[in-house]
Amino acid sequence: MIAFEHVGKRYGGRFEALAHLNFRVARGEMVFLTGHSGAGKSSLLRLVMRLERPTRGRIVVAGHDIATLHSSQVPFYRRQIGVVFQDHQLLFDRSIFHNIALPLEIQGMEPRESARRVRAALDKVGLLHREKALPIELSGGEQQRVGIARAVVNKPALLLADEPTGNLDPQLSADIMALFEDFNRIGTTVMVASHDLALIARLRHRILRLRDGRLVGDEGAR
């Protein structure tokens, strides 16, 4: 699903955020990406999302060599991956329902089908009763679950999450991780960046460890 080949990323010509990255993530796998802050977790996810291009090497995601992807093709590429952000990136002037419907609206899905999918996603994250609420009326954990519902509403083959439990207490964090495991169980490839080592050690999935932009550990690979 994801293949990094000799990938390096420099910012401003000097600072080396990532270097010599080589790894593969198989379809249907669940992978944690860990390391201290500044180790390059977010940079790596940004490369996969094609928010940035690598300065070296090749990245292939779902069969696309994304470094050579034309910029007009990038939106269509991004529709194939669901992303959960640490700060949720919700739109505060529209309801939970419309936030989650946004990816479907962008794809031009027919409204009735779209509403059905939005409710299914809301049900999955346990917020069906809050569809008319505004994001500001929800707690941090609920907002994060809305972010997850939006990321999975168009059934992406790849789900990325950047510190999804960053601001949550341990119980809520465990709930969120359990949700990701559910999506992984139905075949979605999941990649979660997190520095919550205690939590991810308990979950027994593959762990990629980054330090100073280099891959220093790859444990529990299938």
Partner 1 sequence: MSASRTGQTPLRGARSQRARLVSRLRAWGRHHRAMALDSLHRLVRYPLGNVLTMLAIAIALVLPAALWLTLDSARLLDAELTESATLTVYLANDVNVGQAQRIHEAVTAQPAVEQTRFITAEEGMAEFQHSLGLEDTLAGLETNPLPASIVIQPDDVAPAAMQTLAERLGKMVGVDEVRLDLAWIERLRHLADLGRRLALALGVLFGLGVLLVVGNTVRLSVESRRREIEVVMLIGATHAFVRRPFLYSGAWYGLGGGFLALVLLRLGGQWLALPVASLAESYGAAFSIPSLDVTGSTILLSCSTLLGWLGAWLAVTRHLASIKPG
**Nearest Cα to Cα of residue 64 among 142, 157, 155, 151:** 157
46 is a contact residue toward partner 1 (CB under 8 A): yes
Q: Which segment (15-23, 33-41, 100-108, 213-221) binds partner 1 by CB under 8 A? A: 100-108
User: Under 8 Å CB-to-CB from 52, ≥6 apart: which residues?
Assistant: 9, 43, 46
Between 111-124 and 140-152, two packed helices, what is the crossing angle to 10 degrees? 130
Q: Which of 22, 68, 89, 139 binds partner 1 (CB under 8 A)?
A: 89
Nearer to partner 1, 49 or 176 (CB): 49
**Nearest Cα to Cα of residue 151 among 113, 192, 185:** 192
Query: CB–CB of 190/183 below 8 Å?
Result: yes
178 is a contact residue toward partner 1 (CB under 8 A): no
Please give the order of strands across the beta sheet that includes 30-34: 81-84, 158-162, 189-193, 30-34, 206-211, 214-219
Q: Which segment (58-66, 84-92, 119-127, 189-197) binds partner 1 by CB under 8 A? A: 84-92
Question: What's the burial of 163, exposed, middle or buried (CB within 10 Å: 0-12/13-18/19+)?
Answer: buried
Nearer to partner 1, 83 or 127 (CB): 83
Nearer to partner 1, 11 or 76 (CB): 76
Binding string, residues 58-77; x marks residues near partner 1 by CB under 8 A: --------------x--xxx
108 is a contact residue toward partner 1 (CB under 8 A): yes
Q: Which of 3, 62, 67, 102 binds partner 1 (CB under 8 A)?
A: 102
Cite the DSSP H helix spans in 33-126. Answer: 41-48, 74-78, 96-107, 111-124
Q: Which of 10, 56, 79, 124 binds partner 1 (CB under 8 A)?
A: 79
Q: Which residues lie near partner 1 (CB under 8 A)?
A: 46, 49, 51, 72, 75-79, 83, 85, 89-91, 93, 102-103, 105-111, 150
